[in-house]
Chain A
Amino acid sequence: MSREMARSVKLLATLPLNILLNAILIIPFAIMIYLAFLKWSPAMGIDWWEAAFVGVANFVRALGDARFVNALTNTVIYTVSTVSIEFLLGLLLAYLMLGEFTGKKAVLSLIIYPLMLPPVIVASVFYLMFQPYGPVNNVFLRAVLGDDALRITWFLNPRLAFTALIIADIWQWTPFIFLILYSALSAVPRRLVEAAQVLGASSFTIFWRIRLPLIKPLIIVAVVLRALEAFKMFDYAYLMTGGGPGVSTETISLYIYRVSVLYTDISYAAAMSLVVLVMLALVIRLFIWYFFERVR
């Protein structure tokens, strides 16, 4: 094949992607950066390209906005608590599932089914579970606390509402970490494990000293991907608590959604989006560097 032909095939092959990315993501992206320096809302009755330029005013406002800081704090607390619990549970489960036992296949396919459910549906399910007369209060807590359990209103107490969100997240996404760690652990070469057994190492030592260090890169992939997903969290908060009571469970996604869609303060929402974008882009860049570019 001639060199020109190769070049045209290469161009042709990536043309559809380039059209799509430019038309749907890159142009709006450019618009967003411009919007962030304007003062504009559709309610002003002018088009955005006619709006007044206000410099960094929107960014200054974001840094002083208690609700923005609150949403960021909530999101970080949520991310750290869900990911760490999910990691520990997922690792424990992956370890326990390593050996063979009867019914293992059935247990495996049961454990991973929450992964396939749309988060909207999981949110819907847990919204129903946590109703005052739902099974959480009426069956499980009643067994411990007696009739007092019926008076617990999960979504009216800031701490309990937050806990409910975390429980829903753990229910749905522990299988994600489990699945990655389980496939990684199963792929550890058997001869390494056998060699250690011959030398008299206990199964716990083998796990701690041989299997775990070998799958360290995958642990980091699983945790980072999960953390990025948890940071996006919108569905659970929007459906289960609506960010409430007050703004106690409002996440950054929910706050940006409200500012842009409900309060139609477009230029401010654009500025906040950019702040979050820069923060996350740094984290993601580091992650990609660590995985794809670092000389090992």
Chain B
Amino acid sequence: MEFRIVTKALKYIVIGVFALWTLIPLAWIVSLAFKSYAEWRVSYFVPKNPTTDNFVLLFKPEELLGRYGVMGATAIIEPATKPLINSLIVTAATTFLAVFIGFFTAYGASRYRAPGPFTLFFTLLTRMLPPAIFITPIMVYYSNLGLLDTYFGLVFLYSAVTVTYAIWILKGFIDAVPVEWEEAAMLEGATPIKVVFKVVLPLVRPGLVVAGLFIFLLTWSELLFALVLTNISAVTLPVHISKYVGAVGQLFGPQAALALIGSIIPVAIGYAIQKHLVTGFTFGMVRG
């Protein structure tokens, strides 16, 4: 009996330690984001004079000069407004395009065994290979086409590498729609295209949402492609965040504030699709 209590206590301790280990970095970032300059380099977690200065500095970096003098002058970074808007536009457009294409492909895959094993293997491959492999040719290709530093360039590439998720998630949902319903609609005289839009599409709406949110999550986080393909006008949030790391003058406070801002949307989305995270991460390979 005593042994049992000990193991039970041990179990809670291990879970507790793990929860704490997960929580601490979050706590540190929240605390740093609200600390004033004087407290950036001290280690207590609760700021003595909480301030929202760091958030203001993100959007008005020119104020750094007035506030921190020379140190601020060497570290002036563009305002975060444009990267934030760029990220929203690129991510939303990618989500829409990838889900749209994924839906039709999934329909073909579910009903007609299209598009063939090679294409499906290829889409899987694009997810599994390191993005670094693709950057060299894409960079050359895009510079020839004039797609560097444009929204279109990013959206097309992101759609191509995330469409796998839409296909695999939506295929499961479409498989669950009885073919008989489609046949019934067709007997009533509906064209195949009408059947897809009026019968199948409304029935798999939850699947569209899950696939869309998952693709949003992935695209919002992408750094390497954006780093290579953007320069001035299409810079995304992850690229902007990377500029703060090791910035001359070490702007710890604004960096933490930016990390906090950049994580609000993905964490909210993550919790919205919590139930489907396993399916998403494993391309539907796990049927557990």
Which of B15-23, B56-64, B71-79 has 4 or more CB atoms under 8 Å from chain A?
Answer: B15-23
Per-residue B-contact encoding for A218-232, CB less than 8 Å = 1, 0 else: 100110010010011
- Contact partner of A133 (CB less than 8 A), chosen from B22, B41, B217, B256, is B41
Measured as residues with beta carbon below 8 angstroms from the partner, the interface class of chain B is 35 or more
Q: Who on chain A is nearest to B126 by CB?
A: A25
Judge if A27 is at the interface, Cβ distance under 8 Å.
yes
Number of interface residues of A (CB under 8 A): 102
Majority DSSP secondary structure for residues of B touching A = helix
Which of A60-68, A80-88, A157-165, A277-285 has 4 or more CB atoms under 8 Å from chain B?
Answer: A277-285
Q: Who on chain B is nearest to A19 by CB?
A: B101
Q: Who on chain A is nearest to B270 by CB?
A: A116
Per-residue A-contact encoding for B163-182, CB less than 8 Å = 1, 0 else: 10001000000000000000
Judge if A199 is at the interface, Cβ distance under 8 Å.
no
Per-residue A-contact encoding for B272-288, CB less than 8 Å = 1, 0 else: 00100110011001101
Asked whether, in the complex, the Cβ of A257 is within 8 Å of the Cβ of B28, the reply is no
Asked whether, in the complex, the Cβ of B285 is within 8 Å of the Cβ of A127, the reply is no
Please judge, given known A-B contacts A17-B104, A281-B125, whether A234 and B138 are in contact too, CB under 8 Å. Answer: no
Asked whether, in the complex, the Cβ of A92 is within 8 Å of the Cβ of B14, the reply is yes
Please judge, given known A-B contacts A276-B133, A288-B121, whether A121 and B263 are in contact too, CB under 8 Å. Answer: yes
Judge if A184 is at the interface, Cβ distance under 8 Å.
yes
**Chain A hits for B278, CB < 8 A:** 179-180, 183
Judge if B141 is at the interface, Cβ distance under 8 Å.
yes
Please judge, given known A-B contacts A120-B223, A125-B259, A232-B131, whether A183 and B107 are in contact too, CB under 8 Å. Answer: no
Asked whether, in the complex, the Cβ of B286 is within 8 Å of the Cβ of A256, the reply is no
Asked whether, in the complex, the Cβ of B131 is within 8 Å of the Cβ of A96, the reply is no
Please judge, given known A-B contacts A21-B123, A215-B288, whether A16 and B100 are in contact too, CB under 8 Å. Answer: yes
Please judge, given known A-B contacts A260-B139, A284-B128, whether A124 and B245 are in contact too, CB under 8 Å. Answer: yes
17-62 of chain A: CB within 8 A of chain B: 17-18, 20-21, 23-29, 31-32, 35, 42, 48
Least CB distance from B229 to A in Å reads 10
Which of B47-55, B201-209, B236-244 has 4 or more CB atoms under 8 Å from chain A?
Answer: B236-244
Q: Who on chain A is nearest to B218 by CB?
A: A118
**Chain B hits for A32, CB < 8 A:** 136-137
Asked whether, in the complex, the Cβ of A117 is within 8 Å of the Cβ of B141, the reply is no
Judge if B88 is at the interface, Cβ distance under 8 Å.
no
Please judge, given known A-B contacts A119-B223, A171-B22, whether A17 and B277 are in contact too, CB under 8 Å. Answer: no
Least CB distance from B261 to A in Å reads 10
Please measure, in the bound complex, the distance between the C-alpha atom of A218 and the C-alpha atom of B139, giving whole angstroms: 37
Please measure, in the bound complex, the distance between the C-alpha atom of A14 and the C-alpha atom of B113, giving whole angstroms: 11
Please judge, given known A-B contacts A28-B138, A133-B42, whether A118 and B220 are in contact too, CB under 8 Å. Answer: yes
136-150 of chain A: CB within 8 A of chain B: 137-139
Asked whether, in the complex, the Cβ of A14 is within 8 Å of the Cβ of B115, the reply is yes
Please judge, given known A-B contacts A110-B23, A127-B245, A284-B125, whether A180 and B43 are in contact too, CB under 8 Å. Answer: no
**Chain B hits for A184, CB < 8 A:** 286, 288
Judge if B252 is at the interface, Cβ distance under 8 Å.
yes
Q: Who on chain A is nearest to B155 by CB?
A: A24
Asked whether, in the complex, the Cβ of B137 is within 8 Å of the Cβ of A35, the reply is yes
Asked whether, in the complex, the Cβ of A135 is within 8 Å of the Cβ of B45, the reply is yes
Judge if B248 is at the interface, Cβ distance under 8 Å.
no
Judge if B105 is at the interface, Cβ distance under 8 Å.
yes
Asked whether, in the complex, the Cβ of A257 is within 8 Å of the Cβ of B192, the reply is no
Asked whether, in the complex, the Cβ of A129 is within 8 Å of the Cβ of B277, the reply is no
Least CB distance from B43 to A in Å reads 3
Judge if B234 is at the interface, Cβ distance under 8 Å.
no
Asked whether, in the complex, the Cβ of A129 is within 8 Å of the Cβ of B141, the reply is no
223-259 of chain B: CB within 8 A of chain A: 223-224, 227-228, 238, 241-242, 244-246, 250, 252, 255-256, 258-259
Judge if A249 is at the interface, Cβ distance under 8 Å.
no
- Of B22, B107, B122, most A-chain CB atoms within 10 Å: B22
Please judge, given known A-B contacts A117-B266, A123-B245, A128-B28, whether A20 and B286 are in contact too, CB under 8 Å. Answer: no
Asked whether, in the complex, the Cβ of B128 is within 8 Å of the Cβ of A228, the reply is yes
Judge if B112 is at the interface, Cβ distance under 8 Å.
yes
Asked whether, in the complex, the Cβ of A171 is within 8 Å of the Cβ of B25, the reply is yes
Per-residue B-contact encoding for A1-13, CB less than 8 Å = 1, 0 else: 1000110011111
Residues of A within 8 A of B (CB): 1, 5-6, 9-18, 20-21, 23-29, 31-32, 35, 42, 48, 89, 92-93, 96-97, 101, 107, 109-129, 131, 133-135, 137-139, 171, 175-176, 179-180, 183-184, 187, 215, 218, 221-222, 225, 228, 231-232, 234-235, 238-240, 242, 252-254, 256-257, 260-261, 266, 269-270, 273, 276-277, 280-281, 284, 288, 291
Apart from A9-B108, A218-B288, A221-B282: 7 A-B pairs, beta carbons within 8 A: A120-B238, A128-B28, A179-B277, A179-B278, A215-B288, A254-B132, A266-B139
A-B pairs with beta carbons under 8 Å apart, 27 shown: A1-B186, A10-B114, A13-B108, A13-B112, A20-B156, A20-B159, A20-B163, A21-B122, A24-B156, A25-B134, A97-B15, A118-B223, A125-B259, A129-B28, A137-B43, A138-B42, A138-B43, A171-B21, A232-B130, A234-B131, A252-B130, A252-B132, A256-B135, A261-B228, A266-B136, A273-B134, A284-B128
